[in-house]
């Protein structure tokens, strides 16, 4: 299973991550040469996925460097790389509200890869993309589905000795948890349509919490 994580990079060798199968650094103008995770965000996302898919090949597609925002060109370049490299799943814990990018996302998403992204924005709201929102009442090993949106826990893998309230949290980790769970579903039923398989596994929990943790950043902020 090949899972790409478009984020701030991944710290290879982190005890919650282990080996990284490959790394690239997409920028607004081309390809960079610094795949290091300077923020820790991508590593935490990778850890949530690794927890659920310990044998998967994880690929780091870095688009964030010193802050959690990126130019749309870097995002699209990263997605095209994932498509061309035959990724099975792409974790895209980000999005943009700019409708002008719709057609370009649709072009970049063409192919067999399954993209999992934040539901309220592009590309998470596009048909064929698994759109995710956060529900803090949802256990980290389950997800639910309602009105075209999957809901998952917004909390990352726990860190011993660190209270949950002091750890990272937000829709990024709802997407990451959903990516890991979706990969589990695909692994268990490789010949089944992923959407049908996910709907069969979805847990119908109580209504999403009115205080669900929202996105801690917008992936393509003012630069999009």
Residue 166's pLDDT band, with cuts at 50, 70 and 90, is low
Report, as an integer, the average pLDDT of 29-58: 96
Question: What gap in Å lies between CA 194 and CA 104, rounded to an integer?
Answer: 24
Structure-block tokens of residue 161: 């000795």
Structure-block tokens of residue 33: 């040469």
| Contact (Cβ atoms closer than 8 angstroms) between residue 198 and residue 130 | yes
Residue 203's pLDDT band, with cuts at 50, 70 and 90, is confident
Q: The CATH number of 2-201 is which of 1.10.10.10, 3.40.50.620, 3.40.50.200, 3.40.980.10?
A: 3.40.50.200
Instruction: Find where tokens 């919490």 sit.
Output: 209
Mean residue pLDDT across the chain = 89
Between 132 and 209, the more confident residue is 132
Beta bridge mates, 115: 90
End-to-end, the C-alpha distance of the chain in Å comes to 31
How far lies 86's CA from each of 34, 134, 191, in Å? 23, 28, 17
**By percentage, how much of the chain surpasses pLDDT 70?**
88
Contacts of 168 (CB under 8 A, 6+ apart): 40, 41, 44, 156, 216
């Amino acid at each position: 299973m090949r899972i790409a994580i478009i984020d701030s990079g991944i710290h290879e060798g982190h005890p919650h991550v282990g080996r990284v199968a490959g790394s690239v650094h997409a920028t607004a103008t081309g390809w960079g040469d610094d795949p290091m995770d300077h923020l820790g965000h991508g590593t935490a996302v990778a850890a949530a996925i690794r927890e659920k898919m310990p044998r998967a090949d994880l690929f780091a597609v870095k688009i964030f460097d010193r802050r959690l925002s990126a130019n749309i060109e870097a995002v699209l370049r990263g997605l095209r790389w994932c498509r061309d490299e035959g990724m099975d799943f792409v974790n895209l814990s980000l999005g943009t509200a700019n409708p002008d990018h719709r057609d370009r996302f649709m072009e970049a998403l063409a192919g067999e890869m399954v993209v999992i992204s934040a539901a309220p924005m592009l590309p998470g709201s596009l048909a064929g993309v698994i759109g995710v929102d956060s529900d803090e009442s949802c256990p980290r090993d389950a997800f639910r589905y309602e009105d075209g949106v999957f809901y998952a826990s917004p909390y990352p893998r726990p860190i011993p000795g660190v209270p949950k309230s002091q750890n990272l949290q937000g829709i990024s980790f709802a997407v990451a948890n959903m990516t890991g769970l979706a990969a589990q579903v695909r692994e268990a039923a490789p010949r089944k349509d992923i959407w049908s398989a996910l709907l069969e596994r979805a847990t119908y929990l109580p209504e999403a919490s009115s205080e669900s943790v929202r996105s801690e950043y917008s992936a393509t902020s003012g630069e999009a």
